[in-house]
Every structure is written in structure tokens, then in C-alpha cells.
Structure 1
Amino acid sequence: MGTQKSKASPPAGGRADTKKKLPEHFRDYRHVWVFMELERGQVHPVSFELLGEGRRLADQLGAQLAGVILGPPGDSTQHAVAEAFAYDADLVYLVEKPLLTDYRNEPFTKALTDLVNKYKPEILLLGATTLGRDLAGSVATTLLTGLTADCTGLDVDADGSLAATRPTFGGSLLCTIYTLNCRPQMATVRPRVMRMPQRSNKPIGRVIRHNLRMWEDEIVTKVVDFLSDGQSENANLAYADVVVAGGLGLGAAENLQLLKNLAHTIGGDYGCSRPLVQKGWLAADRQIGQTGKTIRPRLYIAAGISGAVQHRVGVEGADLIVAINTDPNAPIFDFANVGVVADAISFLPALTEVFIKRLAPRNHMRLVN
């Protein structure tokens, strides 16, 4: 793995200066690439967030922004190409082959590493999704370069080095990491950490097609079928405009219905802090925080959540945070916009009733707890 150097700093503090002498051959590596993840034929939204961030980095470097699309021939990849340009890519690298229909590590790793070795990007960004994390680690290992995972901030220094910042020590510090001796510089970013850029009507531009020289009989992994995880409700917390979440202050698993009632009333989704997942009260896809989902809703209501730094990392991008807690000294009140010192178990039903009356004054039907 490529040599990396990091330095830790308090979250609110600036980054210390570090002088780096870069190898001469790094001049061969140019431009910023964003891997555009196709999820069952649809572009994962994190790809658009990364294109927005990649555009900013490319402009700072005076470089081009490229989207990288791997998939089967057909409408899904062509749609992804159009979307890459709509989100301000300058060009697209496209690999189309039937064996790229479903994600498998071997063909995706070969396709992406072949592209990197041939066209030499300076920076390569991927979403920190299940797919992106698997692919990024494999590609970085194959290329013998550095990879900074789960970044919360990206920037470039005066010499063009990528400064990739991520939480460390449980979120109490931010560590800025540089890849000193290898290229490309790779980073993964979790969904919703970066803002969604504006979509435009930019026409399709330059597309560079690459032929993947790999065949099905060379791949050990085979996709037999896709099976549901058995959950009737799939969480989409990362992209919800309104989120209601609960913590240990709810007291018992049956009180989760209070969250669901409020979320349903105001057209939102519901989640929880890590301890509730550990207790088995909710599935892991409902967890919010550093080891769960990062969210950027317009409204976030936290009920019975203390607000440890691990949770704060996942919610501080919300426009409005409302905290409900019996402890007036709970850490969540340090970053909440509105604080309510109350028992969430009694406050949530009352708040739900108020919303019902305000949103549907002619229908005062009470929700059953």
C-alpha cells in the first residue's frame, strides 16, 4: 500500500501546513475521476454528490472532471453517461460488457485498474457504499496506492496534493491524510456527506470507450440470484427530508411506535442511534451516526438521544435539529438548533397530535401507540 502521512487536529481547527516534495513522474497523472456506481441499473445518488465535489477539486487543479462508468451494454449505462454530463463532467470513461451486469469484484477491479494504468488520473473518488468500499480497497491494493476511507472533507493543497480528512479517535479528532509517494490519490466518501449539486441540461460530451479484456470463464464468482433481506420496510434515511430518530431514552422497544407515528404524520422516515441496533430493536439500516447512515434532512428530530460525537458526525449536516432529552446537560443540546428538556415517551405523542391538527385540521384521528 502506498505511503501515507496524516496529522490530527481538533474538528473546529484549521489544518496545519505540511511541506511535501512530490516525485517528478507524478506529472503524468492528471485530472479528477469519479466512479459512478450503478445500483440495479440506477445511478447511486452518492455519485452525483461526488461529481459536485470533484468539480470543485478539478477547478482548483485546473484539471478535467471525468465520470467512470462500468456496466452492461444498454439503457442503464447510456443513462449514466448522460447523467455524468448533466452533473458537469467534462468527459466519461465507459466500459460496457455483459459480465459487468452485476457487481463482482474481479471484473470491476480489472476494468477500473486497467483504466487507471492507461489514462492515469491524479485523484479517484468512490462512494463509501457497500460496493464502493469493496471496490476501492481492491483497486488501491492492486495499484499499490493509498486510500483514505469514509472522508468528511476533501481539498487540494498548493502543490496539488489531495488533503483527505476523516474522523478518528471516535470522532473526537479530524485527521487529514496525504498520499505522498503513489498515484492516484484515492478516497471514499459516505453518501450525504457532500451536498448534492444542481443538475443541468449539459449535452453529452466526449466519451472514451475502453475494451475490457476479460471473459466469464475467468471469473470465479457467479451471481445466481438476488434475494430480499426479508425486511418489509427498506430505510432510505440518507435522502429523507425529515427524519425522526430515537435513542435509549425511549426506554423500551415498543416505544419505537412513537417514532413511526410522528414520522408518518410529518411525511418523514425514522431511525435510531447505535445502542438500539445493538439491542436488536431496529435493523442496522436504521442506524444514524459515524458507523451508520449520514443524513442531511431539512428537519431532524432526536428523541432520547444523548448526542455523542459518533452520532453528531452523522447528523450535523441537517438544516434544523430538534433535540428532546430529559438531561439538560446532554451533549446533543450543544449542537441542536432547538432543545426540549422533556421525557420523549410523553412528548412524542403530544407533538404528533399537534402536527395532526395543524396538517389535517378536519381529521383528528388519533394514532394507536
Structure 2
Amino acid sequence: MRQSLGAHPRIFNALLASAGVAFFLIVVILALPTKSKLVRLELQTQERAAEHAAKSLQLSVSALLSREWQSLGSFGELVNMKDISSARQIADAAERASEGIYWAGIVGLDGVVLAGTDGEREGEDVSGRQWFLSGLHGTRIGNVYSPKMGITDNPEGRLFNMSRPIVNQDGTPTGVAVYSMRFDWVADYLFESSEALDVDLTLFDRAGDELVESNRFELPQLPEKISSLADLGSARTRTGGANNTQYVAAILPSLVTGDLPEFGWSMVVRLPATPSESILGIAWNSLTSIGIGAFLIIGVVAYIFASHFLRPLVDLIETADAIAKGDSAYPIESDTSYEAAVLSSALARLQTNLQALAFSARGTKKRASD
């Protein structure tokens, strides 16, 4: 049984539908993966921003503490161990020279404080203190601690000690120079710097205990996994948090670098991650506009192509169907394409031959009736 012609799609409509399908495939194959790549690119940009902020804090704090460390070396070189009055004056001058220095002192080889800022702790036996023992034989940066009673200036402030040996011209140790540094001075500097860089930070000591935390963005508490990464040997970035509080973290296992002793401070810098729904922003809006424009252009081009090249073929096909049904109509001459011109000419010849055969048949029939 002959299949109904109405079941077949028209070539004009098929072309437009094919253009729509092609555009859809472009969106699926190209646009959606591009969106994922843009999301990843944005996340990488945020990771680099966090890492850059962490490096900036590292360099600035290292420079700050390097200046105090070099000052401690100069302080030890200027001291005359035999002139206690002069040594006390130098200790007083050292304390006034920097807001970070809480107390400066000179300790003899026997572990007794010979001179200190404002005479503080002079005569005290510190031979059992770690900063003295380490400073006598090398260099030492002590742990951050809260001073006990007896410290009258800012008793609740946290301190840490820096010590290094005092040597004579032969390189033989003759004593120990020590600075008791205000840790909160360093913390305030970190707070101000992090605010300028628009990031949050958390600082840990050697034991992994938290020393400083700024949380202006109200991010969730650092998970133990990220905190433990701060003790590892290389800088890295991580992401974390729930949907509404996601963040990007840059981890530095050693905050202080350069020609300085090991401080044992590690730091995590965090900034809020851009929400996934707004990551693409202007770029994705531009891609959407380009996609819509491409769809319209494809549609217009397809329609013009179909109207100019396919419509004449459709008309010629309809004429051929009419000729097959016995209609005496001649096809319209078409030169829109090579195929249309050949088909138009062929149908005209076919119609001429059919008309000639019909005329000959009528003549034969008439003579036969006569």
C-alpha cells in the first residue's frame, strides 16, 4: 500500500528544524562545558587572590620582624658588658625605639640579668629559662606566652622572646641579648593588614594552638583537616564551608621567612567564595546574548536559504505532481540554483512531450472515427 505523502516532512520545514537541532547541540556540546570551565576559572582566580594575600602578609610580617631581629643584633654589639650603667641606657633606648619591644635585657654567662629596661628584672637568675640557654649557644624565638605577676606594664598582653649571643672579637660568647616582644603588636599589624587586603586570617603556634583569628566575614570555624595542613611543608589552597558560607583558604606552614630563626607560626588566610549562581556574572550574560544572537542569525540564514533555494524546488515538485495527475500546467522557469534550472527545464520538456503525445493521440482517434 502506498504510504500517504502527508506523512513525509516538507524539506523547507525540515531545514528549519535541522537548524534548531544544530543550535541545541551547540549549546549542549559547547556552552555547558564552557560554563563549567568559567566556574573553575573563577574559583582558580579566587584561590590565586587568597594565595597572593597570604604571600603579602608573609612578606610584610617577615620584614617587620627582621627589622627587630637585626636591631637585637646591633643592640648586643653596642653593649659593654663591663659598664652596667651604659648597658641599661642602651636597653632603655632599644625599648623606646620600637613599639614592639616590651623589655630589652643583657644577661651574663652565669644567667643573671645585668641590665634591663628601666632596671626591670636586674639581678634575676634566668639561667634555667629556655631563651637564655638557646640564646647562649645560638638563636632562639620563644613561644608566645602571657606574662606572670611582677610585670607591671600591660600585664595581660602576650609576649615572646628573641635572644641571641653577645660575642667578643674572638667570637666567644660573653652574654645573651634578649628582647621580650609584644605579640599583640604583631597581631594588631596582622589585623590591619588583613583588613586592607580584605581577607580573614588564623595564626597557629608550634603546637597548633590558635594565636590570632580575624573573622570579619563570619565564616565557619576552620575544620581540623585544614588546620593540620598548616603544619605541612608546602603552601597550598583549599575550599570549604557550606553553600552559603563557602570560602577559599590559602595555607602557609611558615609565616616568617628570610634570614630569621624559625618562629613556628603557621597561617591560614580565607576569603568568601563567590556564590555559584553569580560566579559567571557578566561573562555568562555575554555568552547568553551571543547564543541568542547566534540562534537568530542561524534562523534567519536558514530561512533565507530555504526561501531562495528550496522554495523554487518545492514549487517545481508540486508542478511535477500536477503534471503526473494530467494537468497541462507548465513549470515556472527557475534559475535560483543549478538543480532548480535542470528540474524546471526537464519538466517543461516533459510537459511538451506529453502535450505532443496527447495531440497525436487525439488526431489518431479522429481519423479512426472518420
TM-score for both structures, normalised by structure 1 = 0.23
As a proportion of its length, which structure holds more strand? 1
TM-score for both structures, normalised by structure 2 = 0.23
As a proportion of its length, which structure holds more helix? 2
